[in-house]
Amino acid sequence: MTPRLSLLLGVIALLWSLPALVAWRALGAGSRLVFEAGKWFGYAPAQMVWLADIVEEAGPASRALLVAIWLAGLILLAVIGFLIARAR
């Protein structure tokens, strides 16, 4: 694999990982994040209770799904890099 291809795939992997990390932190914050975001958008906390409850209930399962999707994306990038390197 050429250094330029490795660098490109590394940058793409970083760009793929940053939103996943942000989502991981957000899902870990649970309902607190929902109330803070709702307040920032101008909603009353009473209007956000239903969404906060959903986020709180789905926390562990949503984090596991997020990790699975993130890993699938990284594996796909690795396979693409391997196939491009083999084609050259």
Lowest mean pLDDT among 59-63, 74-78, 79-83: 59-63
Percent of the chain whose predicted confidence (pLDDT) is above 70: 99
pLDDT digits (tens, 9 = 90+) for 21-42: 888 888 877 778 888 888 999 9
Whether residue 8 lies inside any domain: the answer is no
> Is residue 7 domain-resident?
no
- Is residue 54 assigned to a domain? yes
Judge whether 29 lies within some domain.
Answer: yes
Q: Report DSSP state, residue 43.
A: -
Q: Which residues of 23-54 are buried (b: 16+ CB within 10 A; e: fewer)?
A: ebeebeebbeebbeebeeeeeeeeebeeebee
pLDDT of residue 58: 81
For the chain, the 3-state helix, strand and coil shares in percent, each to the nearest 5, are 90, 0, 10
Q: Which residue range(s) make up the domain with 37? A: 13-87
